Copies of this chain bind each other. A is one copy, B any other.
Amino acid sequence: MQRYFLKSNELVLTDEDFHHATKVMRLAVGDKVELVKQSEEVVVAKATQITDSFVNFEYQLTVESQVELPIAVTIASALSKKDKADWIVQKGTEMGASGFIFFNSDFSIAKWDRKKQAKKIERLQKIAKGAAEQSHRTVIPTIAYVNKIDELFQQSYDIQIVAYEESAKQGEVSQLKKSFDLIKPNQNLIAVFGSEGGISEAEINKLSSAGYQKVGLGPRILRAETAPLYLLASLSFFSELS
């Protein structure tokens, strides 16, 4: 069943979702969809009225489901040479991330200027919404951009980790699990990922000072856009399937 995120708790579709429902999905009166309220409640609803600017729905039943990770995960990714942000947001949303922060790192070549920023974020927000609908999430992840790694430290998180290739090379294999073991329900976690050039020593030092723990993600070298998925899948396996 097609799923839409509502802008409030009222069972009505307008704007883009109205367009998608009536033009793309050719919704007719009597058809059913799943609607996610602002309260994150998911309901099945039946279309009762279709005008030229909105569709009204009637409540049918509430869908009971726990589809969100038990811990809110923010993926903080350095901008990469080939801009992999679209990909990270789409796949990371499927895998359960609740937010993405892109940052301009010492090794980033691409940079988002002020003009580009707003457009990029808008675009990524759309990708996140689409992926959240598709993967039957009840939360649309947030997207943000910061110019420097230092700006990440304005907010602190319960669990703070940075993926560090050197850890893996030195045979470090248990820190990720140790970090996961510390997690309590309803906490939040941030994981920082470098670009394909890795992460600079200066940045690692800043992260360490801010209380970030270095973790290895296994013995194989993962691309910048693959590493966040390793983290999310591992955390899902650890917290939802084990």
| A106: min CB distance to chain B, Å | 22
Bound-complex Cα distance A191 to B219 (A): 22
Residue count of chain A within 8 Å CB distance of chain B: 34
Interface of A is mostly: loop
Q: Does A118 contact B (CB under 8 A)?
A: no
Q: Does A134 contact B (CB under 8 A)?
A: yes
Bound-complex Cα distance A229 to B216 (A): 17
Bound-complex Cα distance A136 to B134 (A): 34
Contact of A223 among B134, B176, B220 (CB under 8 A): B134
Copies in the complex: 2
| A11: min CB distance to chain B, Å | 23
Selected A-B contacts with CB under 8 Å, 21 pairs: A67-B220, A91-B226, A91-B229, A94-B221, A94-B222, A95-B222, A134-B221, A135-B220, A135-B223, A218-B240, A218-B241, A219-B240, A226-B229, A229-B230, A229-B233, A230-B233, A230-B236, A233-B233, A234-B234, A234-B241, A237-B238
